[in-house]
Amino acid sequence: IHKNLCKEVLLWRQLHHPNILEFLGIWKDSSTLPAIVSAWMENGNVTQFCQTLRRPIPFQDCKQLKYRLLGQVARALDYLHTHTPVIVHQDVRCANILVNDACEAVLSDFGLSRLDSSFFNTFTSSLEHGCLRWQAPELLFPDNAPAFIPNPTPASDIYALGMTALELLTGQKPYSRMTIDAAVIMEVYHNRRPAYHQQVDKQAWRFFLTCWSRNPLDRP
């Protein structure tokens, strides 16, 4: 636990961006395990925030709010992916996107993140890179031997961003019609993506489809 905590602190403390949750310090006493301290986000994550707005707002205004929050997440990922060394978040989904007092999205939870550099080649947490329904095909079905553990990349974060956008706009997790993860795996294996949802603009949907491209090089 201590080793993993040190890795997360090493990564998190060097990040400074308005749409990334700020690292404040570490709390430790003799009776508890050490914990990372960050600012408290009263609004919760983006899903909770959109579900508990203080006053009802028109559907179109709510949709525009969601697009604005997603744009802020995209800027946070761009910051990570252009950082030196490059940082791959690995677990982009609504549960890990909080909303601050200014009603802006902040990306959190760097426990799975990986520094993409030769010095930190082993900076990865486990065989499970984030949650299955948000995972890119290359992480689920590596081309190499079965024992090969695929490295997440900025492109796999972009795939997850597309799934996260669908999740926020529809209020449903990706592949919501599938009740078991095994069915989701088969959908991804056969290169089938989530069905179109009426709450998503056609232009945005076309962008999501590029985020979900089977070939990572074809993603934005």
Contacts of range 186-190, beta carbons closer than 8 Å, 24 or more positions apart: 188/135, 188/137, 188/140, 188/141, 189/137, 189/140, 189/141
Among 113, 157, 140, smallest CA distance to 21 is for 113
- Supply 174's token pair: 């990706």
91 a catalytic residue: yes
Q: How many residues does the chain have?
A: 220
Nearest to 92 by CA among 159, 20, 7: 159
Of the candidates 157, 151, 171, 8, the one whose C-alpha atom is nearest the C-alpha of residue 74 is 157
| Given 29, 61, 78, 91, the catalytic residue | 91
| Residues acting as catalytic residues | 91
